[in-house]
Structure 1
Amino acid sequence: MKSTIKRRITAGVAVTVAGLLGLTACGGDAGANDEFRIVGFAVPEAANKNIEKEFVKTDAGDGFKVKGSYGASGDQSRAVEKGLKADYVHFSVVSDVTRLVDAGLVAEDWDQGDNKGVVSRSVVVLGVRDGNPKNIKTWDDLVKPGVEIVTPNPASSGAARWNALAAYGQAIKGGASEKEAGAYVDKFFKNVVALPGSGRDATQAFLGGTGDVLMAYENEAILAAQNGEGFEYIIPETTLLIENPGAILKDANPVAEDWLEFVLSDEGQKQFALTGFRPIRDDVDFGGTVEGAADPSNPFPVVPNLLTVADDFGDWDALSTTFFDPENGLVTKSIAKAGLGE
């Protein structure tokens, strides 16, 4: 039975599931009783915890004490907007940060650094059952009769938005017109049998036996294998680069600056890589091997046709309206046609 979208899709959605952390202290380095609150989307929780273990070994991290909560990116962003306290946010999509900029909670120049606000990266992959019984190899295979897809809910999940954009973008890259690409997205959602609230919830649904194909982050597939719940995954020849933003709140604990600097450092990016994320720089040394990857010795293979938001969609403000407007968005309409809407 097809899941029902529980929330309206809002136009300002951008990347990521999110963890929430509040602030109780002020002053320089975190003291023994200080709390540092991270609000993040669900998928990078393990990576952030590993980064924390390394950060506390530094002078800036001495006494560092994290209080975190992770969930669907859009839900987490809206919660912070409504008053949930956070020092640092790590979301799936940029629009979930810009919502907080518009609310006066994050500085307008949050994305002006060399990293353009991005703290973690991945790519959209296709998770399949052991042995790939449906012989899923390409995007065209996803829209064949009888193929059941699990993907998160775009109303709450940034991961869902990356997946939908990848589905549309690969069609355009393959020579389809905008009309034909829209028709592909219609077929895609007609094969969707579950729309869980977050990328992590989608993974759990798939691991529980729902569907033939899981639309997922590459790192989510790798982490599942590291946790003994691995599944095969395919990196399509054409897929989308996922870029997850991180930002500091205006009234954050001062240690937030040191935390973000560490997240972007070689050590921070190494911890992301070891949990399956692609480092944001090519020169990060993570040892060359990542357990749980399809090929641990070549965990992040080059994608022949790697789409990006900047090169293929413009920016999040524009694409949020085009694809996810609650009334006229292309994806919104596809979901409704498939009988997945309210």
Structure 2
Amino acid sequence: MVDRRILSRLGTGILGAGLTAALVAGCGGSASGDELSIVGFAVPAEGNAAVQEAFAETPAGEGVSWLTSYGASGDQSRAVANGQPADVVHFSVEPDVTRLVDAGLVDQDWNSGPNNGFLTDSVVVLVVREGNPENITDWEDLARDGVEIVTPNPGSSGAARWNILAAWASVLQKGGTEEEAAEFLESVIGNVAAFPGSGRDATTAFLDGTGDVLISYENEAILGKQQGEEYEYIVPDRNLLIENSAAVTVSAPETAQAFLDYALSPEGQAIYARYGFRPLRHLADRVEVGEVDGATDPADPFPEIAELYTVDDDFGGWTAVVDKYFDDDGVITRIIQNSGLN
């Protein structure tokens, strides 16, 4: 059996989006003859690989082989739009799928099901050094003098957009104004010590010793602890639900949709939960989570959050978010440009 975790890592951030690694879902030849390609953002590589392996044990997935490519979400989406083969795409933010809808590569109704086009859920966390030497407890601590932050670049990374939007939302959630949110974010961005291209690259930079706090996904923090990394993480009580989008392309064989259906089933969602992803909200009551190794409390891995915003309910959807915050003249884009970070 090929070690798909190793191969998924080989496909992450090396030579950009163009590198693919062959993964075989079982020993021997392919019973169906289907070789599927999945192109995605870096963070769920291990979870996807585990779901692929479980799918191979079903009649629909028997003998299916895989090609994978992982990297920064925006870069991966643009690569598919420019011709990189993909049967399944799994991106950090919805606009990276709608880019492919506009290109005629994904159906217009890709997000019409009960999952609204989402495959994996998470929340934003603050990862700190073991013992929490800077005493980071909440969002406000990120604006303190002398605190060095690692977070990915929203120009290439969907993870960065979730991180920064969550920081912005934290001000609104305690009754602050948009102006106060902008002032707070200016202070946070002013403390950024590293601005890597993807969420996974940001994690690597932090583990290599950069910064005092990493703004990250809950699932990414849990996965690192599963792999033996020594740090702590804080789940802020004012937070943003991270909803990662997935779709099959119009040219994909039926097996690709069968895989996505399996990944969206309670069984598939339970596998993602083992890798630190929160079950999709409409399936939460049907997913057996159990203990999750690497969580702060493995018996209660996904603590309830007092104030949890969503992009659709509280920001008007991703089109409005991009227009207001992240386009060339967006509020957050201007803050980053004025800081000198690129």
Cα deviation, 1:197-256, whole Å, max 9, x if unaligned, reads 100000010000000010000000000011111420001110110000110100012201
Change (3 A) 1:228 1:19: farther
The residue aligned with 1:218 is 218
Match of 1:316 among 292, 315, 318: 318
Q: Whole-Å Cα distance in 2 between the matches of residues 20 and 253 of structure 1?
A: 22
The residue aligned with 2:172 is 172
Q: Secondary structure at the match of 1:166?
A: helix
The residue aligned with 1:264 is 264
Change (3 A) 1:329 1:216: same
- On the 8 A contact 1:18/1:41 being kept in 2, the answer is no
Change (3 A) 1:19 1:258: farther
Q: RMSD over aligned Cα, in angstroms?
A: 1.7
Q: Secondary structure at the match of 1:169?
A: helix
- On the 8 A contact 1:20/1:89 being kept in 2, the answer is no
The residue aligned with 1:329 is 330
Structure 1 gaps of 5+ residues are: 1-16, 24-29
The residue aligned with 2:149 is 149
> How far apart are residue 31 of structure 1 and its match?
3.8
Greater helix share, 1 or 2? Answer: 2
- TM-score using structure 2 length: 0.90
Change (3 A) 1:21 1:55: farther
Q: Percent identity?
A: 54
Cα deviation, 1:57-103, whole Å, max 9, x if unaligned, reads 11100111011011000000000000001000000000000000001
The residue aligned with 2:292 is 290
Amino acid at match of 2:120: S
Q: Secondary structure at the match of 2:285?
A: coil
Amino acid at match of 1:121: D
Amino acid at match of 2:318: W
Q: Whole-Å Cα distance in 1 between the matches of residues 230 and 86 of structure 2?
A: 32
> How far apart are residue 284 of structure 1 and its match?
3.5
Q: Whole-Å Cα distance in 1 between the matches of residues 91 and 206 of structure 2?
A: 23
Q: Secondary structure at the match of 2:188?
A: helix
> How far apart are residue 19 of structure 1 and its match?
9.7
Amino acid at match of 1:194: A
The residue aligned with 1:232 is 232
Say if 2:108 is the partner of 1:84.
no
- On the 8 A contact 1:37/1:88 being kept in 2, the answer is yes
- TM-score using structure 1 length: 0.90
Q: Whole-Å Cα distance in 1 between the matches of residues 288 and 42 of structure 2?
A: 23
Say if 2:73 is the partner of 1:73.
yes
> How far apart are residue 276 of structure 1 and its match?
0.3
- On the 8 A contact 2:34/2:255 being kept in 1, the answer is no
- On the 8 A contact 2:21/2:69 being kept in 1, the answer is no
Q: Whole-Å Cα distance in 2 between the matches of residues 285 and 325 of structure 1?
A: 37
Amino acid at match of 1:195: F
Runs of 4+, deviation exceeding 6 Å: 17-23
Q: Whole-Å Cα distance in 2 between the matches of residues 20 and 242 of structure 1?
A: 26
- On the 8 A contact 2:122/2:218 being kept in 1, the answer is yes
Q: Whole-Å Cα distance in 2 between the matches of residues 203 and 267 of structure 1?
A: 28
- On the 8 A contact 2:17/2:79 being kept in 1, the answer is no
Cα deviation, 1:113-168, whole Å, max 9, x if unaligned, reads 00000110000000001110110001111000000000001011000000110011
Change (3 A) 1:268 1:21: farther
Change (3 A) 1:230 1:283: farther
> How far apart are residue 53 of structure 1 and its match?
1.0
Q: Whole-Å Cα distance in 2 between the matches of residues 92 and 284 of structure 1?
A: 24
Change (3 A) 1:46 1:133: same
> 1:301-312, aligned counterparts within 5 Å?
301-312=303-314
Q: Whole-Å Cα distance in 2 between the matches of residues 311 and 165 of structure 1?
A: 14
> How far apart are residue 334 of structure 1 and its match?
1.1
Q: Whole-Å Cα distance in 2 between the matches of residues 331 and 338 of structure 1?
A: 11
Change (3 A) 1:121 1:200: same
> 1:185-224, aligned counterparts within 5 Å?
185-224=185-224
- On the 8 A contact 2:137/2:234 being kept in 1, the answer is yes
Q: Whole-Å Cα distance in 1 between the matches of residues 206 and 257 of structure 2?
A: 38
Amino acid at match of 2:208: G
> How far apart are residue 336 of structure 1 and its match?
1.4
Q: Secondary structure at the match of 1:76?
A: helix
Q: Secondary structure at the match of 2:123?
A: strand
The residue aligned with 2:6 is none
